[in-house]
Amino acid sequence: MVTQSKRGRFIVLEGIDGAGKTTQAELLREYLEGQGRRVYRTAEPTPFPTGVALREALGGKVKKSECEMAVMFVLDRIAHNIHPTDGIRAILDGGQDIICDRYYYSTLAYQGHSTSYEWVRSMNLGCPEITRPDICIYLDLTPEQSLDRISRGRESVEIYENKETLERVRGAFFRVFDDLGKTDNIAVLDAYRSPEEIAADIARLVDLL
């Protein structure tokens, strides 16, 4: 029997569209469960009311300013952390590993770019109720690789998924990783490979935690 360490491990997956976050989250879950660990998959925006409000704003149903969006992502992240039963803190304390699709790296990359990076950074990293992940794994695709994947997977490419946008977002993520490289455990993986190859790299990284 594999002994479950006391506190679970908090693993974040990040990446631009088409990078394969969902596939890798599922493969990692299978890998960890195969080791006898209990795994909790989650994502941001959350299904909590704060996340529902974000989805409405992202879908254009409700108009919000860029600064409002930044604060809403932080609010959703706090709710995600402190929910008494389904919150990140409670789940980790209960000994389960967490695989989270997107976290504050996304806010720093997207809202840090559209508002003030320093402000967004301090709201997230300075907040005592926002847990630091044990690792952030960034699935890296160039914009060309991303568009290639999207066009093969979907009927129509959505308007915001153009090359310039993808380039800008990727650049923003790399600036975040340069900034947080000393304080956070960040791994950038080439995501333009087979799911099995990527999963093997992720398993190796997670085994080191």
H/E run at residue 180: helix 163-180
- Binding of ligand TYD by 138 (CB under 6 A): no
The only residue of 106, 115, 131, 146 in contact with ligand TYD, by rule CB under 6 A = 106
Contact between 107 and ligand TYD per CB under 6 A:
yes
Tokens for 156, please give them.
């129509």
Whether the Cβ atoms of residue 70 and residue 35 lie closer than 8 Å to each other: no
Residue 43 or 200: which CB sits closer to ligand TYD? 43
Q: How far apart are CA 157 and CA 17, in angstroms?
A: 11
Closest approach, Cβ 113 to ligand TYD, in A, equals 9
Query: Residue 38's closest CA among 85, 12, 77, 3?
Result: 3
User: Among the candidate windows 31-39, 99-107, 143-151, 176-184, which touches ligand TYD by CB under 6 A?
Assistant: 99-107
Residue whose C-alpha is closest to residue 191's, from 28, 14, 33, 45? 14
Q: Does 24 bind ligand TYD (CB under 6 A)?
A: no
Helices (H), 59-142: 66-82, 88-93, 104-114, 117-125
- Exactly one of 80, 102, 113, 170 binds ligand TYD (CB under 6 A); that residue is 102
Q: b/e map of 123-134 (b: 16 or more CB within 10 Å)?
A: bbeeeeebbebb
Region from 83-91, 107-115, 137-145, 181-189 binding ligand TYD, contact rule CB under 6 A = 107-115
Q: Which is nearer to ligand TYD, 32 or 169 (CB)?
A: 169
* Binding mask of the shown chain, residues 36 to 55, with x at each position contacting ligand TYD by CB under 6 A: --------xx----------
Considering only residues 5, 30, 58, 66, which one is a binding residue for ligand TYD as defined by CB under 6 A?
58
Pick one of 17, 97, 140, 184: the residue that binds ligand TYD (CB under 6 A).
Answer: 17
CB of 12 to ligand TYD, least distance (A): 10
Q: Does 73 bind ligand TYD (CB under 6 A)?
A: yes
Residue 143: φ, ψ to 5°: -55, -40
Scan for tokens 């005592």, then name that residue. 128
Contact status: 110 vs ligand TYD (CB under 6 A) = yes
Report the DSSP beta bridge partners of residue 12.
Answer: 100, 136
Judged by the rule CB under 6 A, the positions of this chain that interact with ligand TYD are 17, 44-45, 58, 73, 101-102, 106-107, 110-111
